Structure 1
Amino acid sequence: MMNKRLFFSICYLLLTGLISGCGSNTRPADQNEKQVASSSTLTTASSAGSVETIYKSNCMSCHGINLEGKIGPSLKNVAETRSHDQIATKIQNGGGGMPAFKSKLQDQDVQELANWLATKK
């Protein structure tokens, strides 16, 4: 009985750690925007060259390499159920198990990612 409890406790902790790691390419919350803009570790559309790189760095771990869904839902047809503004709001504020990215991505990157996803029908 004790072994089952230990096993399930460890599984719970591992699962919680995996879920909280979704979008793990983050910046520290205490950095100001000027420091972040000059940071070489921040993935932006201009420095990475493509919105796909932003997706791969921040979204792929939960939504899959081909938008097929993993921990998070499939995004293959996201534009059929959400507008550009709804997609951008979801990226910024999260919700329903998705972490918020408003403090992790620049506004321009959120808009470019939302533009890209809004073409997925």
Structure 2
Amino acid sequence: MKKNPVIPYATIAVIGILLVVVISFVGLDQRQTIEEKEKNGGESTEQSQEGETTSDPSKIFENTCASCHGADLSGGAGPALNKVGSKYSQKEIREIIKTGFPESGMPGGLLQGKKADAVAKWLSEQK
């Protein structure tokens, strides 16, 4: 009796198609969950490395800015920011975050919207 050589390929194809369908449904469910969280949480949250969200400006700074400015604001590749509030106003700091500071090599746009506002306010209090 001869075995049909198409059967193993057809079986693999059917299994593959079923896996694609299952993965698609799982992805759709995750997408809906993410969209619901965004609607409820708003823009003021940031995804941290551990996967949790935060609106704490010091945590946002730690995740985005500390690699250059130091976790304790003492500087590093970028200038120290531990007394930046005595030099610049909140509005000026917000503008620097938005557009960058080419003289020191700081790129603009690393933080946007409410995150940038929160960090600017927090940094303006560092005197």
TM-score, normalised to structure 1's length? 0.59
Structure 2: how far apart are the matches of 1:65 and 1:56? 6
- Where in structure 2 are there 5+ consecutive unaligned residues? 1-34, 39-44, 48-52
> Alignment partner for residue 100 of structure 1, among 86, 108, 111?
108
- In the TM superposition, what are the counterparts of 1:63-82 in structure 2 within 5 Å? 63-82=69-88
The higher-RCO structure (CA 8 Å, 6+ apart) is 1
CA contact (8 A) 1:43 1:57 kept: no
CA contact (8 A) 2:69 2:80 kept: yes
> Alignment partner for residue 43 of structure 1, among 43, 46, 68?
46
State the match for 1:57 in structure 2: 63
Higher helix share: 2
- Where in structure 1 are there 5+ consecutive unaligned residues? 1-34
**Shift in Å at residue 49 of structure 1?**
4.0
Higher strand share: 2
Residue 70 of structure 1: SS of its match in structure 2? Answer: coil
Residue 110 of structure 1: SS of its match in structure 2? Answer: helix
Structure 2: how far apart are the matches of 1:43 and 1:98? 21
List structure 1 segments (4+ residues) > 3 angstroms apart after TM superposition.
none
State the match for 1:109 in structure 2: 115
CA contact (8 A) 1:60 1:67 kept: yes
Decide which moves more: 48-57 or 107-116.
48-57
TM-score, normalised to structure 2's length? 0.57
Task: Give the aligned residue type for 2:71.
Answer: I
Residue 46 of structure 2: SS of its match in structure 1? Answer: coil
Task: Give the aligned residue type for 1:119.
Answer: E
Residue 74 of structure 1: SS of its match in structure 2? Answer: coil
**RMSD over equivalenced CA pairs, Å:** 2.5
